[in-house]
Amino acid sequence: MINNNLVPYQSTLINPVNLADLLVIKNKIKPKQKVVPQIIDFRENLHDLKFIKKEDLTPGFSTLLDQARSVAWLAPKSMLSKSDDHFWSLETNDESCLTPQLRRNFATGKRPIKDFKTDDLNFRTEPALHGGTGFLVGKASDKETKYLVTAAHCVCDKKTFEVDLNKIKNRWVVFDYCMNKNKEINKKFSDVYEIKEVVKFKYDKEKKGADWALIELTKTVKGRTPLEFEEYLDSMELGDDVYMQGHPECLPCKYTHSGKITKFKDDDTLFTTLQAFPGNSGSPVFNSFGKVIGIQVRGYDNYYVKMVTHKIATKPVTKKYPCSVQNIKPVCETLNSLEMRIKPTKAKRIVPPPKVEHIVPPPKVEHIVPPPMVERILPPPKGRHPSPWQEIKQHTLMPIQIAQDFIDAPSIEGGFCCAAWSAAYTIGACILGPALVPVAVTAAWPVAFGVTVVGLGTTAISMGIAGASVDRFVLNK
């Protein structure tokens, strides 16, 4: 079942050190208001992640499934029985579920509590068993390996801090212990291996010191890719996003999200806000690039009983009680010494600048030059027929204009031509005038009279112009 209070893994939180800060940002509650703590369980079954938005999953659903195939459950041999030559079966009952386990734990604690409810508890019907978690390691290019990494206290004695041979002999390395697509627990396993030896380990006596072990299996694991380590371990910073895959309470494999790095203690240890439970020891811790940066090794009490409702719930991870993670750097160095890894760790990850989207300019629109404007010739305004006096004026000015053109020409020919034209004009007027006498009663008689008078006057002017032209010609010679 998907938790309704789920906060996406890729969140905008910078460094959530307690649950109150989470709720202030998530629910937009003002800091001055009182925040009633709500328990948020950040563990999910992998197949339930299909119901979460893809953009909220980093590095992606298919990658998470591939990583889970390389995560193993270190199970006590007493819990598995070989059903045939190729399969082992998990033997469970109602008393092995999470709810009865918690009831027994609280009933036998320092402050025994018997009356409590588990109605809101996630995974309460799933089997909560014993053991730890491990994950496959090897060359980055290999698709098979026989080496596994886990927390040292899963294979060592907690008093002597040395390898415990009894633990090694009584442990199966089981893959595919998870919920299937039908939300049923996978209880039949084909990939089950025994531990051959502990190749190298480091288990400090200090409470928060180094805690890791490299294990060799009796057979090579095929069809499962070793997890890839982060090469730029020095690039980790406070507030970086982290997630984890493993078996909390030895439940079927869980994806734990919404973690942040809160502190770096030394080269061996860092602290996060991941919710870690018994059984998570040895789980791989990933950064937002999907690369392993550490091994889950320690946590604190994870459940408590509410005082009012008497319901059992998960505790929030705070700055005071963080989750302790073993840095993967010493494991990388060990793998390099065994020639099991090609790429050495590097100083810092060079993050390329964000790509600037190339803006394609719009296509150029060809400028269309409009055709030249043709002046519109307007017809003469419509009106009455011109009056006789207007016709007289027109005929009077025409010969004078023509005569002026001939005067501008410095030749005697121009003067004689002007005189000849005027004489012809006068003769025509004299002939035209008498011809119009019969129609004198009409409005045309002023025209005839005016033309005759103008013709006589023009003749006199033309003769004068001709004489002036002769004089001008002689002077020019």
Tokens linked to 319: 């700055």
Question: DSSP assignment, residue 117?
Answer: B
Paired residues of 260 in beta bridges: 241
- Looking at the structure, tell me whether residues 50 and 196 fall in a common domain: yes
Q: Supply the CATH number for residue 316's domain.
A: 2.40.10.120
Paired residues of 90 in beta bridges: 80
Q: What is the pLDDT of residue 168?
A: 94
- Looking at the structure, tell me whether residues 50 and 183 fall in a common domain: yes
- Looking at the structure, tell me whether residues 331 and 416 fall in a common domain: no
User: Which whole number is the average pLDDT over 131-155?
Assistant: 90
383 falls within a domain: no
The answer to whether 73 and 247 are in contact (CB under 8 A) is yes
Is residue 468 over pLDDT 70? Answer: no
31 falls within a domain: yes
Q: What is the pLDDT of residue 131?
A: 93
Query: pLDDT (tens digit, 9 = 90+) per residue, 394-425?
Result: 555 555 565 555 555 545 555 566 566 666 66
Nearest to 425 by CA among 396, 404, 390: 396
Q: How far apart are CA 472 and CA 403, in angstroms?
A: 15
169 falls within a domain: yes
The answer to whether 327 and 354 are in contact (CB under 8 A) is no
- Look at residue 460 and give its three-state secondary structure: helix
Q: How far apart are CA 219 and CA 175, in angstroms?
A: 14
Is residue 91 over pLDDT 50? Answer: yes
- Looking at the structure, tell me whether residues 292 and 396 fall in a common domain: no
Tell me how crowded residue 69 is: count the other CB atoms within 10 A of its CB: 16
Q: Which of 17-26, 165-174, 239-248, 357-366 has the lowest mean pLDDT?
A: 17-26
Nearest to 199 by CA among 152, 231, 233, 144: 152
Q: How far apart are CA 244 and CA 250, in angstroms?
A: 14
Mark which of 337, 366, 401 sits at the end of a domain: 337
Greatest mean pLDDT among 10-24, 216-230, 353-367: 216-230
Q: Quote the domain boundaries for residue 182.
A: 19-337
User: Which whole number is the average pLDDT over 116-123?
Assistant: 77
Q: How far apart are CA 155 and CA 252, in angstroms?
A: 21
Mark which of 277, 306, 337 sits at the end of a domain: 337
- Looking at the structure, tell me whether residues 290 and 424 fall in a common domain: no
352 falls within a domain: no
Q: What is the pLDDT of residue 415?
A: 57
- Looking at the structure, tell me whether residues 327 and 394 fall in a common domain: no
Is residue 237 over pLDDT 70? Answer: yes
Q: What is the pLDDT of residue 41?
A: 81
- Looking at the structure, tell me whether residues 322 and 223 fall in a common domain: yes
Backbone φ and ψ for 110, nearest 5 degrees, come out as -65, -35
360 falls within a domain: no
Is residue 300 over pLDDT 90? Answer: no
User: Which whole number is the average pLDDT over 17-37?
Assistant: 36
471 falls within a domain: yes
- Looking at the structure, tell me whether residues 328 and 394 fall in a common domain: no
Q: What is the pLDDT of residue 394?
A: 58
Q: What is the pLDDT of residue 114?
A: 65
Burial class of residue 119 in the structure, from the number of CB atoms within 10 Å of its CB (0-12 exposed, 13-18 middle, 19+ buried):
exposed
Binned at pLDDT 50, 70 and 90, residue 103 comes out as: confident
- Look at residue 283 and give its three-state secondary structure: coil
Instruction: Specify the pTM.
Output: 0.64
The answer to whether 153 and 203 are in contact (CB under 8 A) is yes
- Look at residue 15 and give its three-state secondary structure: coil
Q: Is 321 left (phi over 0), alpha (psi -120 to 50) or beta?
A: beta
Is residue 175 over pLDDT 50? Answer: yes
Number of structural domains the chain divides into: 2
Letter string b/e over residues 223-241, b meaning 16 or more CB atoms within 10 A of that residue's CB: ebbbbbbbbbbebbeeebb
User: Which whole number is the average pLDDT over 187-208?
Assistant: 89
Q: How far apart are CA 448 and CA 246, in angstroms?
A: 129
Burial class of residue 416 in the structure, from the number of CB atoms within 10 Å of its CB (0-12 exposed, 13-18 middle, 19+ buried):
middle
Tell me the pLDDT of the chain averaged across its residues.
75
Q: How far apart are CA 376 and CA 409, in angstroms?
A: 36
Q: What is the pLDDT of residue 389?
A: 53
Q: What is the pLDDT of residue 27?
A: 39
Q: What is the pLDDT of residue 463?
A: 67
171 falls within a domain: yes
Q: Which of 88-92, 148-152, 229-233, 356-360 has the lowest mean pLDDT?
A: 356-360
Q: Is 373 left (phi over 0), alpha (psi -120 to 50) or beta?
A: beta
- Looking at the structure, tell me whether residues 330 and 395 fall in a common domain: no
- Looking at the structure, tell me whether residues 296 and 440 fall in a common domain: no
358 falls within a domain: no
Q: What is the pLDDT of residue 40?
A: 73
Question: DSSP assignment, residue 102?
Answer: H
Nearest to 215 by CA among 228, 191, 196: 196
The answer to whether 429 and 455 are in contact (CB under 8 A) is yes
- Look at residue 464 and give its three-state secondary structure: helix
- Looking at the structure, tell me whether residues 449 and 301 fall in a common domain: no
Mark which of 337, 354, 377 sits at the end of a domain: 337
The more confidently predicted of residues 148 and 380 is: 148
Binned at pLDDT 50, 70 and 90, residue 92 comes out as: confident
Query: pLDDT (tens digit, 9 = 90+) per residue, 426-466?
Result: 666 566 555 555 554 455 556 666 666 666 666 666 666 66
Q: How far apart are CA 70 and CA 64, in angstroms?
A: 10
- Looking at the structure, tell me whether residues 418 and 279 fall in a common domain: no
The more confidently predicted of residues 199 and 4 is: 199
Q: What is the pLDDT of residue 441?
A: 46
Q: What is the pLDDT of residue 10?
A: 32
Q: How far apart are CA 71 and CA 224, in angstroms?
A: 10
